Amino acid sequence: MKAVVCVKQVTVLGDEVGFTDDERDVDPDYLEKALNEWDVFAVEEALRITEASGGDASAAGAGKESEVVVVTVGDEEADEALRRCLAMGADRAVRVAADGIDDDPLTVARWLAPVVAREDPGLVLCGVQSSDAVQAATGVMLAGLLGLACVAVVTEVSYNQAARRATVHRELEGGLIDVVEVQTPAVLTIQTGINEPRYATLRAIKQAKLKEIEVAEPDSPAPGAYRVRRMFAPEKGAGAEMLSGGAATVAARIAEIVQARLS
Amino acid sequence: MSGTLVVAEHLRGRLRDVTRELVTAAQDLPRPVGVAVIAADPGPLAGEADLRGVDEIVSVRAGGDEFENDVYRDALEALLAGRQPDVVLTGFTVNGMGYAPAVAAKLGLGFASDVFATSLEDGLVIARRAFYGSKVHAEVELPGGRPVILMLRPTVWAPAEAGGGAARSELSVEVRPSRARHLSFVELPQSDVDITSADFLLSVGRGIGDKENIDRFARLAAKMGATLSVSRPIVDAGWMPSARQVGQSGKTVKPKVYLAFGISGAVQHLAGMKGSGTIIAVNSDPEAAIFGVAHYGAVADLFEVAGELEKLP
């Protein structure tokens, strides 16, 4: 079984924030990069499913049936996210070369779609959402563009390759589980906690650095889902009283407030 | 109909609260306001959807009793073709996430999710949503195709009250059998801890760093007379059972006091605790989103503060 996992190198905003001159985004100087947390779980799940469905995902050799392909949209910096997936055990990586994309999920899904279609996988796994933009949309948009079945917010997957279907758990609000049977090929968006992602060995990390990453050219996009007009820091703690004066003072104030509110 | 179309969400034969919130949000968007109820037997649900501010209820007889992906995708497409709304509202919920983005992508519509405020400028919708882990907010325009689909953040708008008098109609649609079929529900395992009934929750998140620190905060909670609760990453890591999880996928809590250590305040967490009487947050990151809902905040090392609390009589 071939699985494609769509991943994102997310931005992590530190303790301070500054904006670009046109006030439409955060100044890149204030951002760090990382592989999206949800996507780590998605890669792990893809590795487990392909390993269980016969063939060893990490075995060498052409024409193997079992394969995990990771795809992202981004500039060269995003290769770092792909290499982390390769170090975990993904077989191949494809980057759709796009500079300075914003987080419009429709544009990203349109760029991912031709690569996913070409790979013709049995399962497409995406993280439920990215930690920076929290759209929870790109994976399901991909399903819409490619006409694939889909289940969002999945916390368990049992894949039956012979029957070409999977039984999955969909996690509803409040933790209620909806057990769903889905025909494959399908897009599943993967929730954190579904598995325990493996750590890459040092050797695997070194090997991943040597692997070739395929670079695909993006289609010229149609108008995206939205356009950011203005970005700004929200009013902070409207009404929140900040406690200061060192740990001992803060602790004493907390104890006082707790006692007053509970009595 | 033009105007604004709310897609009702329901579970086990009952309308979910988010639907009432969407109806309230729709009052500030183009009128009239319609509510679409998609179900095998929409009748009883349509009655529940007859809320104040609803002009029309459209019953779509399709699919099974529970949500199924392809049924909602097909039914929403048919609704868009048949009713030509300007704006479609769904919840930013697990069901909404399953189909609304797919329809927006297929038809090339304007789309924004996790929207927590809207405005109209010259008849065009401007939506507000957060970026960069909720640390910054943005206004987004929706220049793509019409209608626009907005997925609204739950628990932001007040639920619309029961009203009555909306016109009723039916739309007959052809939907394919869903490729993703509902089989059953599995309840959370019963637990002897009920964090929803506690007056005082001491809640810990990713900031506590190591599993070993759980015990320390459990002892601190016991000392202070609090019940220990946690945010999602702690449950994901397997450090605590889900019965203690606060947030959209865990429990919604409203204790008198909610004391949070090392919780940055993901949207899904805030939705589960922002109704607490008094919220006190300790976090080393001054930009942590939890300070946006806290009544008292301290930018401090949580272990130092915990250490001082341990020393208090």
- Whether residue B149 sits in one domain with residue B207: no
> Does B126 contact A at CB distance below 8 Å?
yes
- pLDDT value for A63: 44
What lies within 8 Å, CB to CB, of A167 at 6+ separation is A157, A158, A160, A179, A180, A181, A182, B183
C-beta atoms of B105 and A109 within 8 A: yes
For residue B189, tell me if it sits in a domain. Answer: no
Q: For strand B33-39 and strand B124-131, is the pairing parallel, antiparallel, or unpaired?
A: unpaired
> Does B193 contact A at CB distance below 8 Å?
no
- Do residues B4 and B89 make contact, with C-beta atoms less than 8 angstroms apart? yes
Confidence of residue A240 (pLDDT cuts 50, 70, 90): confident
Written in H, E and C, the secondary structure of chain A is CEEEEECCEEEEECCCCCECCCCCCECHHHEEEEECHHHHHHHHHHHHHHHHCCCCCCCCCCCCCCEEEEEEEECHHHHHHHHHHHHHCCCEEEEEECCCCCCCHHHHHHHHHHHHHHHCCCEEEEECCCCCCCCCCHHHHHHHHHCCEEEEEEEEEEEECCCCEEEEEEECHHHCEEEEEEECCEEEEECCCCCCCCCCCHHHHHHHHHCCCEEECCCCCCCCCCEEEEEECCCCCCCCEECCCHHHHHHHHHHHHHHHHHC
B242 contact residues in A (CB cutoff 8 A): 175
Assigned token pair, B300: 């401090």
For residue B176, tell me if it sits in a domain. Answer: no
> Does A60 contact B at CB distance below 8 Å?
no
C-beta atoms of A226 and B111 within 8 A: yes
B269-272 contacts at long range (C-beta below 8 A, 24 or more positions apart): B269/B205, B269/B231, B269/B232, B271/B153, B271/B154, B271/B155, B271/B247, B272/B246, B272/B247, B272/B248
Expressed as residue numbers, the domain containing A112 is 2-216
pLDDT at A239 over 70: no
For residue A166, tell me if it sits in a domain. Answer: yes
CA of B300: how far to CAs of A35, A146, B285, in Å?
Answer: 28, 48, 8
Task: Please name the residues between 109 and 128 in chain A that touch chain B, using a CB distance below 8 Å.
Answer: 109-110, 128
> Does B183 contact A at CB distance below 8 Å?
yes
- Whether residue B160 sits in one domain with residue B278: no
For residue A112, tell me if it sits in a domain. Answer: yes
pLDDT at A48 over 90: yes
B130 contact residues in A (CB cutoff 8 A): 134, 234
- Whether residue B97 sits in one domain with residue B52: yes
For residue B181, tell me if it sits in a domain. Answer: no
A191 contact residues in B (CB cutoff 8 A): 249
CATH of the domain at B251: 3.40.50.1220
What is the spatial distance between Cα A81 and Cα A8, in angstroms, rounded to a whole number?
A: 7
For residue A225, tell me if it sits in a domain. Answer: no
C-beta atoms of A141 and B259 within 8 A: no
- pLDDT value for A60: 41
- Whether residue B142 sits in one domain with residue B228: no
Radius of gyration of chain B (CA): 22
What is the spatial distance between Cα A223 and Cα A245, in angstroms, rounded to a whole number?
A: 51
**CB pairs < 8 Å spanning A and B:** 294
For residue B87, tell me if it sits in a domain. Answer: yes
pLDDT at A57 over 70: no
For residue B175, tell me if it sits in a domain. Answer: no
- Whether residue B15 sits in one domain with residue B142: yes
Please state the ipTM of this predicted complex: 0.91
Q: What residues of chain B score a pLDDT lower than 70?
A: 1
Task: Please name the residues between 130 and 159 in chain A that touch chain B, using a CB distance below 8 Å.
Answer: 131-138, 140-145, 147, 149-153
pLDDT in tens, A2-40: 999 999 999 888 777 889 898 888 888 888 899 999 999
- Whether residue B50 sits in one domain with residue B162: yes
At how many degrees (to 10) do helices A202-210 and A79-88 cross? 130
C-beta atoms of A243 and B105 within 8 A: no
- pLDDT value for A61: 40
CATH of the domain at A102: 3.40.50.620
pLDDT at A59 over 70: no
Expressed as residue numbers, the domain containing B276 is 195-311
Question: What one-letter code names the amino acid at B133?
Answer: G
- pLDDT value for B70: 97
What lies within 8 Å, CB to CB, of A148 at 6+ separation is A124, A142, A185, A186, A187
- The size of chain B, in residues, is 313
Please say which residue of B135, B170, B205 terminates a domain: B170
> Does B98 contact A at CB distance below 8 Å?
yes
Total count of domains within chain B = 2
pTM to 2 decimals? 0.91
- Whether residue B161 sits in one domain with residue B205: no
Mean pLDDT of all residues belonging to chain A:
91
For residue B142, tell me if it sits in a domain. Answer: yes
A152 contact residues in B (CB cutoff 8 A): 69, 94, 97-98
- Whether residue B262 sits in one domain with residue B151: no
pLDDT in tens, B130-143: 998 888 899 999 98
- pLDDT value for B163: 86
The whole-angstrom distance between B33's CA and the closest CA on chain A is 23
C-beta atoms of A224 and B307 within 8 A: no
Assigned token pair, A178: 């909806």
Question: What one-letter code names the amino acid at A34?
Answer: A
B73 contact residues in A (CB cutoff 8 A): 144
- Whether residue B200 sits in one domain with residue B105: no
CATH of the domain at B136: 3.40.50.620
* Cross-strand partners of B200: B257
Confidence of residue A126 (pLDDT cuts 50, 70, 90): very high
Task: Please name the residues between 18 and 47 in chain A that touch chain B, using a CB distance below 8 Å.
Answer: 26, 31
Assigned token pair, A239: 């009404």
For residue B177, tell me if it sits in a domain. Answer: no
What is the spatial distance between Cα A237 and Cα A163, in angstroms, rounded to a whole number?
A: 53
pLDDT in tens, A181-231: 999 999 999 999 999 999 999 999 999 999 999 999 998 778 889 999 999
C-beta atoms of B180 and A149 within 8 A: yes
- Whether residue B111 sits in one domain with residue B58: yes
Among partner residues A14, A172, A255, which is closest to B94 by beta-carbon distance? A172
Total count of domains within chain A = 1
For residue B180, tell me if it sits in a domain. Answer: no
Per-residue pLDDT, averaged over A149-165, amounts to 96
